Amino acid sequence: MTTASGARHRMTYVAETTWGTTPATPTLSAIRHNSATLALQRGTLQSEEIRDDRMLVDFRLGQRSVAGDIVGELSDGSYDDFLQAALGGTWAADVLKAGVVRRSFTVERYFADITRYLRYRGCEVNTLALTVSPEAICGITFGMMGKDQDATASTAIAGSTYPAAPTSSPYDGFSGAINEGGSAIAIVTEVSINLNNNLQANPVIGSISGLQATIGRSLITGSLSAYFEDEVMLNKFINETSSSLSFTLGGSGSGMTFLLPKIKYTGGQPDTSGEGSIILQMPFQALYDSTEATNIKITRNV
């Protein structure tokens, strides 16, 4: 008996015009991924009836929703639509800033060795996590929240097409550059960014999947780790001094630049463990910057 293998797993998506409705004859673009946990979620409802035999009389599953992570490696052109959805902005002249536009997708998972399709509708990007380290591929994770899953299918959607997946090389942490406070800095060992759109489910009576989630504030936090060489960075935390952070991934004529135009450090930990180099841990909160009119800006370097 054939069983599903991760080596034969494919993920694709198509943008929805109406939340939770898959377009007819869709063109499903590939989602490059290392792993995925996107799945149907249902709460549990347990009867509280008391019986003299101590038995549980009934147990029900609650309303339906979709949740999970899509984990991949950031590269040219691979996640432009998901980045746009995460920020709520729109690419303009290869620049993307945070905004209020909501975008949803139908995501399809195909298990080729057993010929089964799982389709999830109304999927929005709730969270975004990006990590850059010197000796590693740049990993990116999209935390998704969606409306519902269709019944398992053994055939593709009628009229659907599947363009070839991108093949651009993933970014690494040693080919780019990083600036802190507007100046180049060469002592950083890792930088991470976490964006949270704070989507909240809206269950209602008479609907198995509820209303579209309510979106909250765009909150961006992160952390910068650097070799401890002087008090300059630490003093920005001690004195609550606003700063900025930008880093470029990829080589000449390609790649992306991520800019957090205004940040405040929320900690400064020169922890010591052993006799090796001391790393200064600097968590931060990103804020709205009136000059850039955003809390984050992504530029495609083409």
The pLDDT score that the predictor gives to residue 175 is: 80
Evaluated on CA atoms 142, 81, 87, 199, the torsion sign reads negative
Q: Give the C-alpha separation, 40 to 148, whole Å.
A: 7
Q: What is the CA radius of gyration of the chain?
A: 22
**pLDDT tens for each residue of 159-184:** 999 999 889 999 988 887 889 998 88
DSSP bridge partners of 11: 109
The yes-or-no verdict on residue 15 having pLDDT over 80 is: yes
Q: Confidence band (pLDDT; 50, 70, 90) for 155?
A: very high
Q: Confidence band (pLDDT; 50, 70, 90) for 252?
A: low
Report the alpha-carbon angle 232-238-241, nearest 5: 75
φ/ψ of 265, rounded to 5, equals: -75, 140
The yes-or-no verdict on residue 253 having pLDDT over 80 is: no
Work out the average pLDDT over 73-100: 96
Work out the average pLDDT over 227-249: 91
DSSP bridge partners of 92: 95
Q: Give the C-alpha separation, 285 to 125, whole Å.
A: 20
The pLDDT score that the predictor gives to residue 208 is: 86
The structure's pTM equals 0.94
Q: Confidence band (pLDDT; 50, 70, 90) for 108?
A: very high
Work out the average pLDDT over 221-227: 93
The yes-or-no verdict on residue 300 having pLDDT over 70 is: yes
What percentage of the chain carries pLDDT values higher than 90? Answer: 75
Q: To the nearest 10°, report the CA torsion of 19, 23, 29, 30.
A: 70
**pLDDT tens for each residue of 187-217:** 888 999 999 999 999 888 888 888 899 999 9
Q: Confidence band (pLDDT; 50, 70, 90) for 85?
A: very high
The pLDDT score that the predictor gives to residue 154 is: 96
Q: Which of 258, 147, 272 is nearest to 212 (CA)?
A: 147
Work out the average pLDDT over 262-290: 91
Q: Is 102 exposed, middle or buried (0-12, 13-18, 19+ CB in 10 A)?
A: middle
How many helices and strands (H and E) does the chain possess?
2, 20
Q: Domain residues of the chain, as ranges?
A: 6-41+60-300
Q: Which DSSP state fits 7?
A: G
Length of the chain: 302
Question: Is the backbone of residue 186 left (phi > 0), alpha (psi -120 to 50) or beta?
Answer: alpha
Q: Give the C-alpha separation, 84 to 134, whole Å.
A: 26
The per-residue pLDDT of the chain, averaged, comes to: 93
